[in-house]
Every structure is written in structure tokens, then in C-alpha cells.
Amino acid sequence: MNEIGLTHILVISTLLFFIGVYGFLTRRNMIIMLMAIELILNSVNINFVAFNKYIYSGKLDGLFFTLFITAIAAAEAAVAIAIIINLYRNYKSIDINDADSMKY
């Protein structure tokens, strides 16, 4: 068994990214779709940190990108949950197919 390197961590983040994409495509519940987006953002964060550690170890830029992505993800989750609560008040449902009043 060889040493854990960059490739191992990239494989983990790839699997996590496509799990998030699968959840985003299949589920129609808005909160679950939000969770899938969080998984995708986290896999990107893992990639940034792994490249920073194993390739560009003389810089800290990947770490700062991860910090800012985390901050923006927090803001995005807060706004998304406010929108979901507002939609639930109007439609009594958080299924994305029920929010179709702009469709016709």
C-alpha cells in the first residue's frame, strides 16, 4: 500500500462532488438540494487545500480561497433558507415542482 498523496485526496473530492451532483439532480426537496450544494462546495474546498498542501506548499492562497468559499457558502445557505421559508408560507410545500406560479 503506497503513501497517501494528492491523488487519494482528489479521488475523495471527486466522489463527493458527483454524489452532490446526483443528489441535486434526483431530489426535488429544496432543503435536500441545498445540502447537495453544500457537499459540492465542500469537495471544491478539499481540492483547494490538497493542491495547496501537496503542490504549492510555498503559498497560502488555497487556504484563503477555502476560507472565503466557506464564508460565501454560509451567506448562501442563510439566504436560501430564508427563501425556502418564504416559499413554504406561500405554497405550504418545499417541493420544487409546486413552486410553479411563474411558469405559465
Partner 1 sequence: MSASTIIFYILSAIIVGGGLLAVTARKIFRAAVFLLFSLIGIAGLYFYMNYEFLGAVQIVVYVGGIIVLIIFSILLTAESGSDMKKPALSRILFSALATIFACALTLWLIKQHTFHVNESTIIEPSVRNIGRQMLSTTEHGYILPFEVVSILLLAAMIGCIVIAIKIKPKT
Q: Which residues are at the interface with partner 1 (CB under 8 A)?
A: 1, 3-4, 6-12, 14-16, 18-23, 25-29, 31-32, 34-36, 38-39, 42, 45-46, 49-50, 53-60, 63-64, 66-68, 70-79, 81-86, 88-89, 94-95
**Which candidate, 88, 97, 70, 77, places its Cα nearest to that of 35?**
77
Which residues lie below 8 Å from residue 48, measured CB to CB, with a gap of 6+?
A: 62, 63, 65, 66, 69
Q: Which is nearer to partner 1, 66 or 103 (CB)?
A: 66
Shortest distance, position 48 Cβ to partner 1, whole Å: 10
Partners of residue 29 on adjacent β-strands: 95
Least distance from partner 1 to the Cβ atom of residue 28, Å:
7
The span from the CA of 37 to the CA of 79, in Å, is: 13
CB of 101 to partner 1, least distance (A): 17
Rounded to a whole number of angstroms, the minimum distance from the CB of residue 104 to partner 1 is: 22
